[in-house]
């Protein structure tokens, strides 16, 4: 696989410095993007979130304006020009001396890694089974506000769900309320058709697709709002998940919960159709001129 690392396309399996703090301490951030035909979807929104995270972590990197071109170059070099793929942008504080203190500006050398991988063709997966995790998502931690490379709680929650016979985890916050899934935002459709999702202050990541849906009421007529979400509300409604790779996916609780009503199915399908249109528009608008 050819990748981009610190200004160069490379193919060597030996790439990351053994003193890189992203490897040693999880000191970095990342973004995952949907890519079609070498074009990343919703690139501006991803870069805005990435830049905000870099500011919060005091990591200074060169401007990221060429990321779209880098991804297009990776698609061409890896033979993925006509494929659906997943791009990952990873930025760490880079090589530093041992210890927890930030390096001085003279010695700062952040790492910028961009990879692109084909998304495997799988049988249609229209629903995800959710299991409640014992691992919490601390709503007061900076690790819940940004996509940091320290993902241990999410990793443990996801594997716990797998062991329980589910394929996603419900992570609660420190107050015992729903925060998110291990790799996705959680939304729930109430019986009256309204849609709820936990606020970021409750431990939910400010997901890109989640953000799009929160602004779609004028176009869809669906009322989507942020509100603290008790597990009981999740059990009473029709939950679904969102992230940049799955888009929108229906979900069901492994223990508890009921089948969605005709109205809830209609609302979900309406939102999914709207999202597919937005995705198509994003890819079309970002595609290079012929």
Three-state SS sequence of 95-148: ECCCCCCCCCCCCCECEEEEEEEECCCCCCCCEEEEEECCCCCCCCCHHHHCCE
Q: What is the CATH number of domain 127-281?
A: 3.20.10.10
Residues sharing a CB contact under 8 Å with residue 18, sequence separation 6 or more, in sequence order? none
Is the pLDDT confidence value at 40 over 70?
A: yes
Render pLDDT for 114-164 as a digit per residue (tens, 0 to 9): 999 999 876 556 679 999 999 999 999 999 999 999 999 999 999 999 999
Q: Any idea which architecture 3-118 has in CATH?
A: 2-Layer Sandwich (3.30)
Render pLDDT for 184-218 as a digit per residue (tens, 0 to 9): 999 999 999 999 999 999 999 999 999 999 999 88
Return the SS3 of 59. coil
Domain ranges in the chain are 3-118, 127-281
**Burial status of residue 31 (CB atoms within 10 A of its CB: 0-12, 13-18, 19 or more):** buried
pTM given for the model: 0.94
DSSP code at position 78: T
Residues sharing a CB contact under 8 Å with residue 176, sequence separation 6 or more, in sequence order? 231
Residues in a beta bridge with 95: 20
Contact status, residue 256 vs residue 223, Cβ threshold 8 Å: no
């Amino acid at each position: 696989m050819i990748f981009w690392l610190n200004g160069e396309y490379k193919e060597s399996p030996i790439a990351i410095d053994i003193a890189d703090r992203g490897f040693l301490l999880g000191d970095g951030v990342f973004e995952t993007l949907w890519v079609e035909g070498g074009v990343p979807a919703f690139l501006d929104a991803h870069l805005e979130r990435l830049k905000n995270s870099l500011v919060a972590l005091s990591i200074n990197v060169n401007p990221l304006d060429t990321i779209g071109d880098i991804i297009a170059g990776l698609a061409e070099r890896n033979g993925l020009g006509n494929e659906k793929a997943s791009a990952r942008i990873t930025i760490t504080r880079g090589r530093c001396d041992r210890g927890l203190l930030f390096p001085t500006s003279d010695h700062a050398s952040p790492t910028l890694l961009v990879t692109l991988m084909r998304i495997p063709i799988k049988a249609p997966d229209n629903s995800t089974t959710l299991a409640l995790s014992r691992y919490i998502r601390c709503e007061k931690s900076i690790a819940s506000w940004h996509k940091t490379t320290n993902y241990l709680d999410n990793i443990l929650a996801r594997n716990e769900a797998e062991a329980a016979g589910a394929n996603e985890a419900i992570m609660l916050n420190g107050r015992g309320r729903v925060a998110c899934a291990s790799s996705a935002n959680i939304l729930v459709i109430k019986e009256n058709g309204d849609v709820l999702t936990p606020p970021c202050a409750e431990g939910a990541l400010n997901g890109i697709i989640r953000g799009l849906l929160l602004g779609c009421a004028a176009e869809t007529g669906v009322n989507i709002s942020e509100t603290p979400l008790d597990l009981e509300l999740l059990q009473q409604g029709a939950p679904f998940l969102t992230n940049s790779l799955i888009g929108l996916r229906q979900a069901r609780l492994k223990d508890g919960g009921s089948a969605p009503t005709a109205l809830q199915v209609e609302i979900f399908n309406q939102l999914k159709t709207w999202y597919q249109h937005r995705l198509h528009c994003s890819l079309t608008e970002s595609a290079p001129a012929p």
